[in-house]
Amino acid sequence: MQPIDFFLQGAMRHPGRTAAVETATGQAHTYEALRGQALALAAALQRLSGKSRPVVATLAGNSHAMLLGILATYACAGVLVPLTPTVVEQDIARQLATAAPDIVLHDTAYDALLVSYRGLRIGNDAGGDRHVAALVREYAGQAPVRANPGLDETIAIKFTGGSSGTPKAVLQSLRCINTMVASLGMVYGFDSEERFLLAPPMTHGAGTFVLPVLNAGGCLVIAGKATAEQLYALMGTQGVTSTWVPPTLLQRLVEARQAAPAPLPALRNLLYGGAPCPAPLLSQAIAAFGPVLGVTYGLTEAPVIIAGMDGATGSQPENHGSAGRVGPLTRVAVAGSDGLPTDVPDTLGEIIASGDLLMSGYLNMPEQTAAVLKDGWFHTGDIGCIDARGFLFIKGRSKDIIISGGFNVYPSDVENAYMRHPDIAECVVFGVADDYWGERVEMAVVPVRPGSASAQALIEYGKQQLGSVRTPKIIHIVGSFPKNTLGKIDKRRIIDDLRDASRQEEHRS
């Protein structure tokens, strides 16, 4: 079985039902229509690339064309490479060089991010020599030559971290994606009455729900760029039953609802994931929306559903703060003091997972792969415990990663970018707990000369080099950094000193 079969089965059972609605245009598409469009585009991808299994990158916001690109790539058993349009051009260039796609499906608004790419481009919107709608018309009635790759062959390449130097390209196999889709359907109980709002980009966590919902015969409500207030309005007008958002967007949705409460009788799963959710926000969300707050927990290396729970379960007091019950098709444990997996309830240790959900490895990075895949177990770097009921609680992370607004931010990436600034002698990047971002990125800087760099100018520099997500929200300019006996920067002491100074400032105020 291939990932596309989840959609084809849904289309066979529910040909006349509405499969997708694009809120920007109001256009609705039945399962039968969506099936024909996806197969036609898949045939076009094979013909234009000259390959039965093309590597197809996507660089776009949410739209019907974006959905077709995803389904068409799966329909020809191609390799899907989702790129995130919120990053800067040099990051996209590195990712394209690593994945080497045959075709890029893109919104013309992101042309500037593709200046390095010399391969075939297909526009999602009308414009240019080739675009999705024209190809669907040209290849109408055709279908791709069905390849039959093994379950361990790669079906997706997804990037995590690596904005400076070589990016980490996660290899996800057919087996991995099939397990993810089946697990999501089992945990959240999607059915033919489902109306799932795709709010964040399909290149990110929201896209993982496409196949589970379509397999059940439900409807995808596709929202393009929209404010939290607009998304909240769509939840009512579109009869939305479920959606997935990062905690930053959840915060804004809570504020929108508090400002304009309205009935949402269909909503049953307001799911969050991608980053920790502060305890006050959990309580606010349940108070605002009712007992519908669920969660997903996973990483790109073990996508989405290492653990999770639906809205009714997640809203129960005893489950507040949990990442959910361990996934139905994945073994999850914690590593004990001896480094071996233990199933003893409430043991604190590193969260590890095994089974078909795991990635195959990092592309061309055997050492990095071996560091996290050990004896069949993926080491997440997260610290937590599993209670006697099988619910996972995450307490912290062993990895030096900041999760801000649902995105992984690697301090070394940010530091490397800032060390290219002529006015910076040394810098240290770290995460600080934040009620809005989950964690916010902060940085301490030693300038080349006193007064040679201002915090605001450095923030603007970061936005140009890194994009807004990875740019520090607060920059501390100091005279020097403490060093250890080996002459290395004492990062732990720097962070502690800054936190102490912040507490003292709050006390004085």
β-sheet bridge partners, residue 308: 296, 325
CATH number, position 414: 3.30.300.30
> What is the rounded CA–CA span in Å between residue 422 and residue 448?
8
> What is the rounded CA–CA span in Å between residue 3 and residue 208?
11
pLDDT of residue 231: 97
State the sign of the Cα–Cα–Cα–Cα dihedral 49, 54, 59, 64: positive
Q: How confident is the model at residue 58 (pLDDT cuts 50, 70, 90)?
A: very high
Stretch 331-356: mean pLDDT: 91
Please report, rounded to a whole number, the percentage of residues in the chain having pLDDT higher than 90: 74
DSSP codes, 67-91: HHHHHHHHHTT-EEEEE-TTS-HHH
pLDDT over 80 at 242, yes or no: yes
* Residue 256 vs residues 200, 228, 229, 279, 508: alpha-carbon distances, Å: 17, 7, 5, 19, 34
Whether 326 maps to a domain, the answer reads no
Whether 460 maps to a domain, the answer reads yes
Residue 32 exposed, middle or buried by CB count within 10 Å (0-12, 13-18, 19+)? middle
pLDDT over 50 at 444, yes or no: yes
Stretch 486-493: mean pLDDT: 72
pLDDT over 70 at 308, yes or no: yes
Lowest mean pLDDT among 160-164, 225-229, 243-247, 447-451: 160-164
Task: Look at residues 128, 156, 189 and tell me which one is the last residue of a structural domain.
Answer: 189
Of 339, 284, 330, which Cα lies nearest the Cα of 308?
A: 330
Contact between residue 402 and residue 472 where contact means Cβ atoms under 8 Å apart? no
Task: Look at residues 171, 189, 207 and tell me which one is the last residue of a structural domain.
Answer: 189
Stretch 225-242: mean pLDDT: 96
> What is the rounded CA–CA span in Å between residue 465 and residue 443?
15
pTM: 0.86
Which structural domain, as residue segments, surrounds residue 415? 402-508
Task: Look at residues 189, 212, 245 and tell me which one is the last residue of a structural domain.
Answer: 189
Q: How confident is the model at residue 486 (pLDDT cuts 50, 70, 90)?
A: very low
Of 11, 23, 6, which Cα lies nearest the Cα of 61?
A: 23
Stretch 435-449: mean pLDDT: 91
pLDDT of residue 374: 93
* Count of structural domains, the chain: 2
Whether 249 maps to a domain, the answer reads no
> What is the rounded CA–CA span in Å between residue 463 and residue 474?
13
Whether 415 maps to a domain, the answer reads yes
> What is the rounded CA–CA span in Å between residue 417 and residue 409?
13
Whether 375 maps to a domain, the answer reads no
Whether 233 maps to a domain, the answer reads no
pLDDT of residue 487: 56
pLDDT over 80 at 254, yes or no: yes
End-to-end CA distance of the chain: 63
User: pLDDT digit string (tens) for 207-227?
Assistant: 999 999 999 999 999 998 899
pLDDT of residue 164: 41
Most confident residue range from 9-18, 83-92, 107-116: 9-18
* Residue 389 vs residues 240, 263, 319, 321, 332: alpha-carbon distances, Å: 31, 34, 10, 15, 13
pLDDT over 70 at 291, yes or no: yes
Tokens linked to 430: 């770290």
User: pLDDT digit string (tens) for 134-183?
Assistant: 999 999 999 999 999 999 999 999 998 643 446 799 999 999 999 999 99
pLDDT of residue 91: 86
Q: What is the average pLDDT value for the chain, to the nearest integer? A: 91
pLDDT of residue 191: 97
Compute CA 21 distance to the chain's CA centroid, rounded to the nearest angstrom: 22
CATH number, position 88: 3.40.50.980
Whether 370 maps to a domain, the answer reads no
For 210, the 3-state DSSP assignment is helix
Whether 466 maps to a domain, the answer reads yes
